[in-house]
Structure 1
């Protein structure tokens, strides 16, 4: 068997150009397969880690997916608001370590505006318990100061000290803008790959201030100017939702039950991890599509190798016949062709894997900076090794077809000169 592999290697080195192109086809298909798999798993992991370190999310009574969508992903709206007194009472519960209030309802050029406080920048976590960091600037301190997510700043080309105008409601039209109360950009967050990147952050007091005169949802009353409003202390009457971190994970279910049966108003408390998994199952068609793409990538690469082997087979009929004349049996010819396919697949897998890691080393900072998606550079997982094993087996099977054709050729068939 060793002699056959050596002969296969010598045969491939004699056909350097054809072998190299075939090898390149297999390597690229393996790189794409592993690359798509890495992106798929990291995207799933990033989705599952959109919010981290938060034990409960509380909102008005609704389904857990709906609550997750508007509180974390900024999609949709709450069925109702939460009274500020209810928030204060629950946030001061003995089980609660920290709380983050959130007020939604306004927007800026298609991006949601979030009213919150400094606890948001201190306690909000994503990924593997990563905290929010500032690329530029600082937290808001003044009433009309804002902190932008990375995507907002990049897409709208904002810099520190620029002024932005917030619109009332989700649609940003000229008639519903708070254009007499512009906000100054004092901070820009680093990319996170989460909805934080697509958010405009202001203080809860600012949300209350800009809505003076807008109580009915339209500008019917008078709104004082910024200098006048700066002299007042604003406390929200209502908020949209809030996040809780507890002193102990053991207390999660007890506090959740307490909130779900809260007597003063109907509330829902959800565990974000469970809600995220439920939401991902609803979106699993995207994951399945990536798996199908991975499969077709490999099939295309193997078909390229099969085409190359079949094309070269007619050119090698005399070579096969000479080997037969020198004493090689038909089964030797069969194993020779299968060995060539095996060698090409093995080297292609090794080259493709090396190419993947090289590309990851180069592209990882760019992908994280541009898309906020952190692709971890780690060893091959058990599933990836299984995929490579399947590719290797498929490569061997692909070599069987040309090997069978060569096996069936007679000695005279290759020795006859055809004009």
Structure 2
């Protein structure tokens, strides 16, 4: 204990060089732990993107290419799957559920995914977690859209607003479907997966936008609204219908089942009856006060039974589809049947197996990152060794004085070794603190930009092992100057020559 106290006081006398060495070790430890944590969390985030899915089916290409394009929205699928083939495979024995996926459109850089209601029912991520709505509901007809959490947050969208889908992936859009605006009816809770960056629309909407002649003014009779405005449930009516209905509510609200303009509103009557209270309140506010308030307050859009429509339409092809089977025993059999499908060349992959193959391909990159961080740690420890050796010759008088007061050569050896251990331990401690501070600062950016969720948790066994290796290396680095000091104390005694 006295030697440790003596070593601490000795380092305080050389605090400039000691602090520089300590910070070098701390930064290298922070870098090593950060790379390792990001590597593990990135692998975990990829693995958690889709779970509970037995097979992913698409046009024949490569396993990894199909996985990246269909699940991670990375790259593009070269070909598509015909709708007839999808229906045929869906009807096979052992298939529990399927989720059709149609990609190729975007909205301001965010991928647009066409699907049906099975997506919200059967899609799983993480540890088989279901999709949860932070606000609103799932779409029920072809004029509605559901946003991922990142899309809504980044674009500041709210329920009731209308958006326009563009043809083309990423930031490259070849054509804007501005004649077919869609209403936001749901916003999903964050998942830490590509779902957060995705705009979800019904398959019927994709088909209608792509097959509709340009002369057609509206896909589904939806009135086009100025950009930047939010809309309430009254958007489901044409403008003149809303005005007439408001007029009727203003003068005949006591009889909500007797409209003076019944002939003009036959297609809206059941909708108006189901939501009379909501329209009464809205119209009395808007008409009674002369539109004093702007209509930019987003409101939840209910899902009345009479507005439920066809979510699929008659598509000719889709990009891919996810499959869940009744039993894992069917997996290999159905996969073999799909890979040998005669109607068209298809490919069925098992997500877990393909992910492991992907990480094997990226294994070299992981090793390079670890090697880089290990080299940085080694350089910092060599810097500590250089500092101890450089100051050793200047401390020969100090060592001689210690010998004169009774210190033996082994005490000198322990003293010098203790200094190296203390510097390394302090550097590791500071490095761990900087590591947690960096995670806290970068957490939001990594989550929003790359979908990597970094958790502030205790060091794992592997990370603790890395710290132990650094401590051992620091101890070994201290043996060389300690050994030299040991022999200096034997030869110099009190007759040191300056």
Do they superpose with TM above 0.5?
yes
For 1:46 and 1:197, how far apart are their aligned partners in 2? 13
Residue 322 of structure 2: which of 236, 239, 243 is its match? 243
What SS is found at the alignment partner of 2:196?
helix
Q: Within 5 A, what are the aligned runs for 1:202-351?
A: 202-213=201-212, 221-228=214-221, 233=310, 234-310=313-389, 312-349=391-428
* 1:10 maps onto 2:6 in alignment: yes
Structure 1 unaligned blocks of 5 or more: 215-220
- Distance in 2 (alpha carbons) for counterparts of 1:340 and 1:44: 39
SS in 2 for 1:74: coil
Q: Unaligned regions of 5+ residues in structure 2, if any? A: 223-235, 237-266, 268-308
* TM-score, normalising length: structure 2: 0.72
Deviation string 1:196-219 (CA, Å, 9 cap, x unpaired) is 2332211101011111246xxxxx
Residues 1:170 and 1:33: Cα distance change in structure 2 (over 3 Å): closer
SS in 2 for 1:146: strand
**Deviation of the 1:60 alpha carbon:** 1.7
For residues 21-71 of structure 1, what are the alpha-carbon distances to aligned partners after superposition, in whole Å with 9 as ceiling and x for unaligned?
Answer: 655554454343223212211111212332211110011222212211221
- The CA distance in 1 between the partners of 2:488 and 2:465, in whole Å, is 36
Larger radius of gyration: 2
User: Residues 353 and 186 of structure 1: is their aligned pair in 2 closer, same or farther, counting only changes over 3 Å?
Assistant: same
- The 1:362–1:70 alpha-carbon spacing in structure 2 relative to 1, beyond 3 Å, is closer
Change in CA separation of 1:398 and 1:65 when aligned onto 2, cut-off 3 Å: same
Q: Is the 8 A contact 2:212 2:219 kept in 1?
A: no
Distance 1:128 1:21, change over 3 A: farther
Secondary structure at 1:292 match in 2: helix
Cα distance in 2 between the residues matched to 1:365 and 1:155: 13
After superposition, the C-alpha distances for 1:313-371 in whole angstroms (9 at most, x for unaligned) are: 35533221111223434343223211221233345445644665677678767865675
State whether residues 8 and 337 of structure 1, in contact with CA within 8 Å, keep that contact through their aligned partners in structure 2: no
Query: Relative to structure 1, is the Cα distance of residues 110 and 91 closer, same or farther in structure 2, using a 3 angstrom cutoff?
Result: same
Q: Secondary structure at the match of 1:142?
A: coil
RMSD between superposed Cα atoms in Å: 3.3
CA contact (8 A) 1:259 1:267 kept: yes
3-state SS of the aligned residue for 2:102?
A: strand
Distance 2:494 2:374 in 1: 37
Contact 1:37-1:294 within 8 A present in 2 as well: no
- Report if aligned partners of 2:111, 2:170 keep a CA contact under 8 Å in 1: no
Q: How does 1:16-415 map to 2 (within 5 A)?
A: 16=12, 17=15, 22-23=21-22, 25-170=24-169, 176-213=175-212, 221-228=214-221, 233=310, 234-310=313-389, 312-349=391-428, 352-353=431-432, 356=435, 368=447, 372-376=451-455, 379-409=458-488, 412=492
In structure 2, relative to structure 1, the CA distance for the partners of 1:76 and 1:416 (3 Å cut) is closer
Normalised TM-score (structure 1): 0.84
- Partner SS state of residue 409, structure 1: helix
Which residue pairs with 1:218 in the alignment? none
1:22 and 1:415, CA in 2 relative to 1: closer, same or farther beyond 3 A?
farther
1:270 Cα deviation after fit: 0.6
Quick check: 9-18 or 192-201, which moved more? 9-18
User: Within 2, Cα distance between the matches of 1:247 and 1:75?
Assistant: 29
Contact preservation (8 Å) 1:191, 1:371: no
| Higher alpha-carbon deviation: 344-353 or 288-297 | 344-353
Distance 1:181 1:130, change over 3 A: same
CA 1:237 to 1:163, structure 2 compared with 1: closer, same or farther past 3 Å?
A: same
- Structure 1 window deviating more from structure 2 (84-93 vs 9-18): it is 9-18
- Counterpart residue number, 1:217: none
